[in-house]
Structures are given as C-alpha cells and as structure tokens.
Amino acid sequence: MTGFSESSERSMTRAEDLTICKHGKRQSPINIATDALIFDLSLQPVKLHGANQQAS
C-alpha cells in the first residue's frame, strides 16, 4: 500500500497494513499503556476544531 486514492478504503484492518504505519514517515502508531492510565474527573471533553473540514 503506497497511498490512498480519492475513493479507496481509508481504514486498515490487515496485519500487514499496520506494519506500514509502524515504519512510515507520515504516520506514527500509538501505544497506550492502559496499566499506566490515570483517571481525572477534572478533565474536560476534547473539542476538535476543523475536523469536519475537507483537507486541501
């Protein structure tokens, strides 16, 4: 997989697709250590600005 076309599927579900992200230069996978999470009731919801806008 080298990129996405205008009409291509944007989600990756195959294991070999996920390795591309691991070594890619434009994406970086995240590794959330759930055993180190801290719950904080004072945090506010995340607000996304521009998430519904088309990228140019």
pLDDT digits (tens, 9 = 90+) for 3-45: 545 445 555 566 666 666 666 666 656 788 889 999 999 999 9
| Whole-number pLDDT of residue 44 | 93
| Whole-number pLDDT of residue 22 | 63
Cα–Cα dist 19/27, whole Å: 11
What SS3 class is residue 34? helix
Residue with tokens 């890619």: 24
Give the number of domains in the chain: 1
Calculate mean pLDDT across residues 47-56: 76
The answer as to whether 12 is a domain residue is yes
| Whole-number pLDDT of residue 40 | 94
3-state helix, strand, coil in the chain (%, to 5): 20, 0, 80
The answer as to whether 2 is a domain residue is no
- Greater pLDDT, 36 or 49: 36
The answer as to whether 56 is a domain residue is no
- Full domain range(s) for residue 36: 8-46
Does this model's pTM top 0.85?
no
